[in-house]
Amino acid sequence: MLAEKIFLDSNVLIYAYFKQDERKQRISQGLVAQNSIISTQVLQELSNTLHKKMKIDYDIVRLIVQECVHNCKLHINTSDTIFSAFDIAQRYTFSFYDSLIIAAAQENNCTILYSEDMQHKQRIGNCVIQNPFL
């Protein structure tokens, strides 16, 4: 049996690097270690959150992003990803940005999308959204 392909939302990555909640950090680090998939959008959201909200210097943000790219497979969003996101947003009423993450997960044939912010257990195509912290 093949291992499930998993996609990570930016909120999961943030917990992997910061100890606000040690249980969530352990879970997130375990997911990153599973050769998970992330997208360019996830890295953008991660970078923005780390710098703007957490006031982390760009030199440190760069190191974190480099580590994420090293530990995860990186999906580069294309025009196809964007157009798929429009369809997902319209059909499921997710925000466009959440729909873009879902579209990237689907393009990579992921069966699980881990996110703290989306509807737990919702199935979209062959992909199920799961909150890894419940």
pLDDT tens per residue, range 58-114: 999 999 999 999 999 999 999 999 999 999 999 999 999 999 999 999 999 999 999
Q: Say if 123 falls within a structural domain.
A: yes
DSSP 133: T
* Residue 13 within a domain: yes
Number of domains in the chain: 1
CB 85 within 8 A of CB 102: yes
CATH number at residue 73: 3.40.50.1010
Residue 1: inside a domain, yes or no?
Answer: no
- Residue 90: inside a domain, yes or no? yes
Domain range for 80 = 6-130
65 is a domain residue: yes
Three-class secondary structure of residue 127 per DSSP: strand
Report the predicted TM-score, pTM, of the whole model to 2 decimal places.
Answer: 0.93
